[in-house]
A and B are shown apart, each in its own frame.
Chain A
Amino acid sequence: MLNKKLDLKRLLFSMASLVDLGQEATSSKDLSAKMKAALYVITGMFSVPTAALFVYHPQRKILRLFVEKGRRVRERRVNGIPLLPEHIKRFRMNDPHTLRDMAESAFFVLNKEVFSDLQTTIFLPLFAKGDFVGAIALGRKLGKAPFRQGEKDVLRVIAHQMAITLHNARLFLEVAKKAAENKKLYSSMHQIYQDTIQAFATAIDAKDEYTKDHSYRVASYAVAIARELGWKKKDVEGIYIAGLLHDIGKIIIDVKVINKGATLSTPELTEIRKHPQISYNILSKIRFPWKNIENFVLHHHERLDGKGYPDSLKEAELSDGVKILALVDAFDAMTSDRPYRDKLPVSEALKEVTRCKGTQFDTKITNTFFNVLRKELNGEVKEPHILPHLHNLDMSKVKALSANSDM
């Protein structure tokens, strides 16, 4: 009667312990903390003062100490215990192996010192979905009593649970590693993409000797405005790319027309006005990771009053991206030398922009441009995008003009 009562108590305690183990194994702690707590639960269940959990590394074919309790496995064993597939084949899956079971095992004989350090009496190989994932070495019980059959049954349940936890952790680590590799690959492809686009921009600008680096400046000014408008990072990147490529169609236009010093004839003007459509035709074949690049480029010569080209669109039909490119393209043209005229001083260009506000250029975009310029002049912007490209500034006039941006 007394024994039956004790057996029932033990059974209840084992069940409560398995619940504890389940909680530890599924907790949100990191794997090492989780496994250490699980090892404490296991050692508590059997009053075992020493134990260790090893994790198997299949590529290196070693069993490495992961967490332990009670006794330090000698330092020289930290690098791992070699464990060959033929040794693993001899293990009974998730079944406790006693010293007697292991006496004939070459693996155990070769590593006797490790198991002796831990005072091992039970070796529990952990298998999940047929894969060997690790092992638990349990030391002697406090009273040195052998493990009873019922306790070995409980150990089998524990082995399954621990093996699944380790297996899942391994899968998670593999997924995390793959994700990190993919991120790295994406980043490197992204860089190649950017470099290729920059190379195109250089090629575009090289065709027009007067507008060297025009595409870079347009892209940079456009970024300044888009950021000030609070655009998302990806959209800012998109307008930068659109800025770099907006004149890609000029590659097909006759270089003599582009660099002609005198006033253009009607057919030449018609020819040069084809470049937004050609740019669109080229870029629409590319699946950009950014939205609307080809449309920004197609309409960067449109005006609010409908007098632009190629489609004579009016204010309501123009997106903010188009309005930004239209403004910064024109501003850079004004502040650059052209074959038929010298560049305008920045203050004159700003006056011209102000004059064309509401007819050629959008009011909100123009005000934003002046606002950023003012902030850059006042040193309020960490990474200025406009000021570094402007030279021989008539500072007082520019400051005064940018300060009156809302007028």
Chain B
Amino acid sequence: MMPKGYINDMGAVSLEQTSEQLLGKGAKTLIVNFADVQYINTIGVSIFTGMVHKTQEHNSVLCFTNLKKVHRDVFEMMGLIKHVKVFNNEEDALRSLRRRESNAE
């Protein structure tokens, strides 16, 4: 998933819904790329809190990539960062994912 711009209103709830649909279809890993995200407020935090919760319920993994410092600080302060895997970029996340899959085999 690659949200864009401001995540500060109910329009962004679709992110939560999309993740729920993907998890419902059996997705084991969700990657959110924050490269184009400019601003996250409490509504945004609530949406990502919901995504974390749902991935935990489905025993799946939520990955955040391309986080700007300001966003990382917010997630850290709110205690979200402990529940997600953070990568510098999507390639790193995918590499780690493949490594994990090959180890599992």
B-binding residues in A (CB < 8 A): 6, 9-10, 13, 16-17, 20-21, 33, 36-37, 40-45, 47-50, 69-70, 141-143, 145
Contact = CB atoms under 8 A, between A and B. Distances in A.
A23 to B, nearest CB: 10
Nearest to B13: A40
B89 to A, nearest CB: 25
A10 B49 CA distance: 17
29 contacts: A6-B77, A9-B73, A10-B77, A13-B42, A17-B42, A21-B42, A37-B9, A37-B10, A37-B43, A40-B13, A40-B42, A41-B43, A41-B46, A42-B46, A44-B41, A44-B42, A44-B47, A44-B49, A45-B45, A47-B79, A49-B52, A49-B53, A69-B46, A70-B50, A70-B53, A142-B79, A142-B83, A143-B79, A145-B79
B92 to A, nearest CB: 24
B43 A40 contact: yes
B25 interface: no
Interface residues of B, number: 24
B77 to A, nearest CB: 6
B68 to A, nearest CB: 16
A47 B49 contact: yes
Contacts of B78: 13, 44, 47
Interface string B1-44: 00000001110010000000000000000000000000001111
Given A13-B74, A40-B47, A142-B49, A45 B79 contact: no
Given A44-B41, A44-B45, A142-B79, 4 more contacts: A41-B46, A42-B42, A141-B79, A143-B79
Interface of B: 8-10, 13, 41-47, 49-50, 52-54, 73-74, 77-80, 82-83
A133 to B, nearest CB: 23
Contacts of A33: 10
A43 B79 contact: no
B48 to A, nearest CB: 9
A25 to B, nearest CB: 13
B79 to A, nearest CB: 5
Contact of B42 (A36, A41, A141, A143): A41
Given A10-B77, A13-B77, A36-B10, A142 B52 contact: yes
Contact of A44 (B43, B53, B54): B43
Contacts of A6: 77
Contacts, number: 75
3 closest A-B pairs by CB: A44-B46, A44-B42, A49-B53
A356 B23 CA distance: 88
A143 B46 contact: no
Contacts of A9: 73, 77
A50 B42 contact: no
Contact of B80 (A20, A47, A69): A47
A47 B45 CA distance: 7
A237 B54 CA distance: 64
Nearest to B52: A142
A40 B46 CA distance: 6
A43 B49 contact: yes
Given A9-B73, A13-B74, A45 B53 contact: no
B82 A143 contact: yes
Contacts of A50: 53
Contacts of A143: 79, 82-83
Given A13-B74, A20-B43, A41-B43, A49 B50 contact: yes
A44 B50 CA distance: 9
A20 B41 contact: yes
Contact of B41 (A16, A48, A69): A16
Contacts of A45: 42, 45
Contacts of B13: 40
A367 B43 CA distance: 67
